[in-house]
Structure 1
């Protein structure tokens, strides 16, 4: 298969995973009764699968593309801040997991990568909300309310989200990866190489 054909195949798969992510964003539901606006969906699942199959850059690209598409299709009620939050958290999760997994593609390392990614995502979620998201969206929130929101809302939400996406990925990735890599090629960053594993 030529490089052009391989790149085309890769772009088609990336676009398909992003489109699935957009669809999954519609299937959202509140997770914590005290914070009903924190809604969980499965849109990080295709991005994580893409990150495992093609590398962390692909996972981050899917996260970016799905948020751009959802704004174009559905619009935004938060002036884009909700989508920015979704991108920061999602990209951190799939990017971290993908970076760890690409060095040793085993089930054990996949579990380790997702566990580490969940912790990193939760930490980044704290700082992103304190220094970027809340100041942009609710600049008048008091320090006490902000810390309550972060500790009782953001942290448990991201931990549960990371755990849920990780479990589903473990259950489905092996089967899906066979379909994704059917041509026997793997895309990593700017380099296209024949898959050997």
Structure 2
């Protein structure tokens, strides 16, 4: 074999070895890339799993563990405060104020209309067993107060929107309270509609105005500190 052939054979062997080394390196790179992708996928799945079980309250619209617990706390507070009844008008001691409306408003501001609905309804659930008609009226008034306030505040989270929401909620709740008394009170209190209507100006109107003023002012003052505590 000539020296040229030896050189060519050596060159071919070198090229073959180089191609083999290059192929092996490429295989290692591909394997490494595949391993990295798997690791990234595993990390992504782990992150998604953690997010799925997130206990924060800032994830709007998601039923996290912490949010459910806070809803339950609000409901419990609403139930307890619904039994704290204080007569506001000595001449009419059956008209009693309870601060559960404040709990409904704060829940609505913090978590939206759905929270206001849940707290407003479940907060008076025990009263359905003792005074179903009165509890029904109280639930309707709580929804009339909490839902408009929560909707308005959710559209623009500011002090101005909060004040506007509280005013609108109070007006809606006042209308619900008056109409509800005209419809529901004659059913369980053995009073005529005319007798209930005669109480609107001297009793029902001032009582409910005072009630909603207390609820609105208290909510406006304490909501921000409570909100900061909830969203830590």
TM range (shorter): 0.7 to 0.9
1:164 deviates by 0.4
Cα distance change of structure 1 residues 3 and 35 upon mapping to structure 2, 3 Å threshold: farther
Higher helix share: 2
1:26 deviates by 2.6
SS where residue 88 of structure 2 aligns?
Answer: strand
Tell whether 2:171 aligns with 1:115.
no
> Corresponding residue for 2:225?
175
SS where residue 105 of structure 1 aligns?
Answer: coil
Written as runs of structure 1 = structure 2, the 5 A alignment for 1:77-116 is 78=131, 80-116=132-168
SS where residue 36 of structure 1 aligns?
Answer: coil
Written as runs of structure 1 = structure 2, the 5 A alignment for 1:143-158 is 143-158=193-208
Question: Can you list the C-alpha shifts for 1:165-185, whole angstroms capped at 9, x where unaligned?
Answer: 111111111010012122xxx
Cα RMSD (Å) of the superposition? 1.7
SS where residue 214 of structure 2 aligns?
Answer: helix
> Corresponding residue for 2:31?
none
Question: Can you list the C-alpha shifts for 1:52-72, whole angstroms capped at 9, x where unaligned?
Answer: 01101211110111111x338
> Corresponding residue for 1:127?
179
> Corresponding residue for 1:194?
none
Tell whether 2:73 aligns with 1:16.
yes
Cα distance change of structure 1 residues 94 and 5 upon mapping to structure 2, 3 Å threshold: same
Return the alpha-carbon distance in structure 2 between the equivalents of residues 112 and 81 of structure 1: 31
Aligned length: 175
Return the alpha-carbon distance in structure 2 between the equivalents of residues 91 and 181 of structure 1: 24
Return the alpha-carbon distance in structure 1 between the equivalents of residues 209 and 52 of structure 2: 40
Q: Give the TM-score normalised by the residue count of structure 2.
A: 0.70
Return the alpha-carbon distance in structure 1 between the equivalents of residues 177 and 127 of structure 2: 21
SS where residue 93 of structure 2 aligns?
Answer: strand
1:162 deviates by 1.0
Indicate the structure whose relative CO is greater, using CA pairs within 8 Å and at least 6 residues apart: 1
Return the alpha-carbon distance in structure 2 between the equivalents of residues 60 and 35 of structure 1: 30
Q: Rg larger in 1 or in 2? A: 2
Question: Can you list the C-alpha shifts for 1:81-125, whole angstroms capped at 9, x where unaligned?
Answer: 121111111111011111111101110111111011111111111
